[in-house]
Amino acid sequence: MDGGKVLVVGATGMIGGLVVRRLAERGGAPALAGRDATRLATLARESGGGPCRAFDAYDLDGCADLAPWAAQALGGLDTVVVTIGVAGFGRAEEVTEAAAEHLMTVNALAPMAVIRGALPVLQPGGTVVAVTGAVVDRPLVGTADYAAAKTAFATWLGIVGREQRRRGVTVVDVRMPHLAGGFADRAVTGTAPGLPPGADPADAVERYVLAPILNGTEASL
Ligand SMILES: NC(=O)c1ccc[n+]([C@@H]2O[C@H](COP(=O)([O-])OP(=O)(O)OC[C@H]3O[C@@H](n4cnc5c(N)ncnc54)[C@H](OP(=O)(O)O)[C@@H]3O)[C@@H](O)[C@H]2O)c1
């Protein structure tokens, strides 16, 4: 399988699940990490039988331990795909501190911890692919906390990518466009503004997430 030994974090989500199934179709058995152990085990059975581990975004040490675990289970690690995240809407004064903390934890601190833990164990020539969002470049009114978390993560990824270049580790920030599939409807707070129809998730995953893994090419968004 191209892409080598792969860890998918957020495997039970829409984007993560599509990545796992596409890799399995190509003969891979990626390591899977997700919040729900039962759904994770079912997904692993249906897609190559790779090892799986449950975690929660609030356990940052547990997040940082995912890549070392995967490297041990797979006998090395070439690629980490991070697709966890949660939406949240509302004017800044309407968002509770608990919701703001949740958005920053799931969209920034947890994915950063996953990647921080991965850097020492990724093989030279390895790849990190992390999904942020188009909101980084085009933030909408009513998304201050969500957009701030994604932008913090995107800035962090950009710097880490420069830091890792000499080691040959590539860091890809996928500023995913709005997709069909109901991500905005699963918001932890508030209600999504009227959004245009989303793009096709399978096509977007193929172009923006799998292409950098399988061919080393970053599609421009
Ligand atoms: N879909 C879009 O339109 C879109 C557009 C731009 C960017 N994005 C970004 O793409 C990523 C994935 O989106 P998606 O559409 O695949 O969303 P999704 O189906 O809702 O998946 C989100 C993933 O994050 C996980 N997650 C949420 N809270 C967590 C927590 N506390 N601890 C551990 N895992 C947690 C979910 O776990 P469970 O499976 O257990 O719920 C799931 O695996 C997100 O970062 C999102 O911001 C999506």
CATH code: domain of residue 131: 3.40.50.720
Evaluate whether residue 169 is within a structural domain: yes
**CA-based end-to-end distance of the chain:** 26
**pLDDT tens readout for residues 85-97:** 999 999 999 999 9
What's the gap between Cα 207 and its chain centre?
A: 15
At CB < 8 A and 24+ separation, what contacts does 48-54 make?
Answer: 48/20, 48/23, 48/24, 50/74, 52/11
Evaluate whether residue 219 is within a structural domain: no
**CA max distance for the chain:** 49
Is the model more confident about 213 or about 111?
111
- Whether the CA torsion 5, 8, 9, 11 is positive or negative: it is negative
Residue of the nearest CA to atom 26 in ligand 1? Answer: 84
Evaluate whether residue 1 is within a structural domain: no
Residue of the nearest CA to atom 7 in ligand 1? Answer: 133
Which residue out of 52, 86, 189 has the highest number of ligand 1 atoms within 8 Å of its CB and is therefore the one to mutate?
86
Which residue out of 22, 55, 61, 83 has the highest number of ligand 1 atoms within 8 Å of its CB and is therefore the one to mutate?
83
Q: For residue 221, what pLDDT band results from cuts at 50, 70 and 90?
A: very low
The CA distance from 217 to 165, in Å, is 16
Evaluate whether residue 141 is within a structural domain: yes
Three-state DSSP at 209 gives helix
Count of structural domains within the chain: 1
Question: Is residue 53 scored above 80 in pLDDT?
Answer: yes
Q: Which atom of ligand 1 is nearest to the CA of 178?
A: 3
Three-state DSSP at 203 gives helix
**Å from CA of 187 to ligand 1 middle:** 10
Question: Is residue 144 scored above 50 in pLDDT?
Answer: yes
- For 211-221, what is the mean pLDDT? 69
Helices (H), the chain: 14-25, 37-46, 60-64, 66-74, 97-104, 110-118, 144-164, 201-204, 211-214
Residue 196: per-residue pLDDT: 87
- For 153-158, what is the mean pLDDT? 98
Evaluate whether residue 91 is within a structural domain: yes
Residue 174 pairs in a beta bridge with: 131
Q: Are 67 and 118 in contact (CB under 8 A)?
A: yes
**Which residues surround ligand 1 with Cβ inside 6 Å?**
10, 12-16, 34-36, 56-57, 83-86, 106, 131, 133, 176, 178-179, 181, 183, 186, 198
Q: Where in the sequence is the domain holding 92, given as residue range(s)?
A: 6-214
Name, in order, each residue with C-beta under 8 angstroms of 179's C-beta and a sequence gap of 6 or more: 14, 15, 198, 199, 200, 201, 204
The CA distance from 167 to 122, in Å, is 10
Question: Is residue 67 scored above 50 in pLDDT?
Answer: yes
Q: What is the percent of the chain with per-residue pLDDT over 70, rounded to a whole number?
A: 96
**pLDDT tens readout for residues 172-183:** 999 999 999 999
Residue 220: per-residue pLDDT: 46
The CA distance from 54 to 41, in Å, is 9
